[in-house]
Structure 1
Amino acid sequence: MSLSQETQDLVKRVETFVRTMIVPYEHDPRCGEHGPSDELVAEMRGHARSAGLMTPHIHSDGSHLTQVETAAVLRASGLSMLGPVALNTAAPDEGNMFLLGKVGSPEQQARFLTPLVAGDARSAFFMTEPASDGGAGSDPSMMQTTCRRDGNHWVVNGRKAFITGALGASVGIVMAKSTEADSADGACMFLVDLPDPAIHIERVLETIDSSMPGGHSVVLIDGLRVPADQMLGAPGEGFKYAQVRLAPARLSHCMRWHGAAVRANEIATDYACRRHAFGKPLVDHEGVGFMLAENLIDLKQSELMIDWCASVLDTGAPGTAESSMTKVSVSEALMRVADRCVQMMGGTGVSRDTIVEQVFREIRAFRIYDGPTEVHKWSLAKKVKRDWRDRQS
């Protein structure tokens, strides 16, 4: 799809910035098992501000690039695991900014959205709950966290799990099921300042991925009092707002991880062309050359799927089915790309001498983020049945 010259120039600037300024940080000791440290995040974001590239998908007036334009920018930001964090295009902040821009009141946007767009704050989205509690995961309707009115406040109680970036976040969006008669069984969303003494981080989980600042936490919410004017949107509409956030957020994940897979393929290609075995470069062995060819096919098909879904969202359509199809197709294709890169590079592929092994780990987790492949397929199968019934009537 054609992009304006202005957008093409922005994409080139982002790519150059990531490759020259951010890639050298990939072996920085401040990159830990739970993501880059706050010190490192601040340092990289300082470089992004100096380059005029902080939050590049959002204009200075608060308006967004189109989804098609955003796709090109976020793919470029993903060429390093640290790129989205440095440029403020990473999850969960990118999705939270989108949601606040769509649903937040002017006062809420001034207080909570402005520092996020400026890259001066990080955020967390508190929806998923521990499986051991029978709480919400792929099925948000199982939510156990509750909220009730108490005068001019709401009181929230519950536990959350896999809350990305909760450690170190300044802004939280907390999702809870209402016990009030006018919104019973509906979900509510609340904006909160973090840290808050009523929100206790029980532990930061040890997970397969390591690119997101703060890692993923298990959190206890014990008597959290939130002023009524900090409810995001209307009471009982939280599940609807979650979809407002999730459809483009699924696609944004695809954009960023596409960039990461492109980078891994570049590294594997360079390795295959330089490394010799049995009298010739690896690339000249069909077993390796064909894997590189298959990578090109999967990367191009993923790019086309991303742009197609982005164009649907740009029409104003909900894009729920389209984002599910894209999430399934792209996450599975990029997993194949990353796996082939590891395989082609042998021992080097499983070492941390390059970022290939990290890309493999991160994309494996991506197949679960914002709904596992199987849940999206189940949702699409239900749509197939609904559409069939509609045709029969």
Structure 2
Amino acid sequence: MIGLGSLFRRFPSIKMAWRNLGRNRIRTGLATLGIIIGVIAIASLGMAGAALQQQAQSNLGSLTNEVAVSSGQDSTQDGITTDQVEQMRDIIADAEVVPQKTNQTTLKSRDGQEVFVSVVGVTKASALYDTTVGKAPTRLQNGALVSVETARELGLELGDPVEYDGSLYRIRGFLVAEDGFGGGGGNELVLPLSALSEQEYYDSVTVVAASGEAATTVADILEADFNEQGRDSEEILSIRSFASTQDSINSFLNTLNLALLGIGSISLIVASVAILNVMLMSTIERRGEIGVLRAVGIRRSEVLRMILAEAIFLGLIGGIAGAIASLGAGYILFQVLASDGMLVFTWAGLQHLLSGFAFAVFASTLSGVYPAWKAANDPPVKALRG
């Protein structure tokens, strides 16, 4: 308030602008409401796009540094051979090469309930899986890991036995639902590779690199080493990098975000037209008053500043109120779409609040330029005549 009082004393025209807004409170309130709605529209749609992007990054998080390798369409084997796995380890020494064998089976609970599960045989389970309870060992040589879904359906606990191919394996941990290649989602049973020793080939290999950029490099190296390029190209191994998938998703979500911001900005453009109308009507109604001010020596610049200040005040009040309301809307959006409402206080959320506020002030100021110019350049004699 001290700063505002000082501003009023230094620039009397700004004080007059503040008082003028209070003369017709209904008109001022409606114009401000239009700005508030516009800010909420811009900020909320922008934060919705940011929340979707955050959710996509979270879902793909552990996959972005992974390269999935499987048998290609031109391979003469039914899977990936041990020699090919060793060759991969030789050419990419700075990444973890994790071969896997897969199968399917049915698990039974003590009361006879049956659940169909996918079986994954792997040695270095810790490279692909995290657990909610128990531990995914660096070398899985005995025991088993099961998905939370499977454990819930069968009533399994740590240490309980599960049977596969006539052998019993005790549960050492429950898999995090969305972790690792294949995710640990749905009904899944992870066993040592020795449990699937009857299968000659590996069904897939996951290469875990240090980062998404490193995963892309690994994929390029594997492509060059195993697959023939050029006119007579052959796909011996099918190689997929999930880093490029996330880049594509991020590109799409960025485009979507811009589209949402464009839609939201329409509301503020409409609000700007309303402000323009308010300022023009106010100028017309006070034409005689402005003429008197000009006749007693008030300069054009003071009149221009007064009318323009009214428009800026509308933008500031509406922008601040809209940003506060958008903060609550953003919390709900991030909570629903990204499962963490506090993300609204990160730059991903706050940048849209600032964008909405800045656009509101800019649009309001722009809407006040013509009415201010018109009032300042209206001849005093003509204005006094009405």
Q: Please, what TM-score do these two structures have when normalized by structure 1?
A: 0.22
The structure with higher relative contact order (CA 8 Å, sep 6+) is 2
Query: Whose helix proportion is higher, 1 or 2?
Result: 2
Larger Rg: 1 or 2?
2
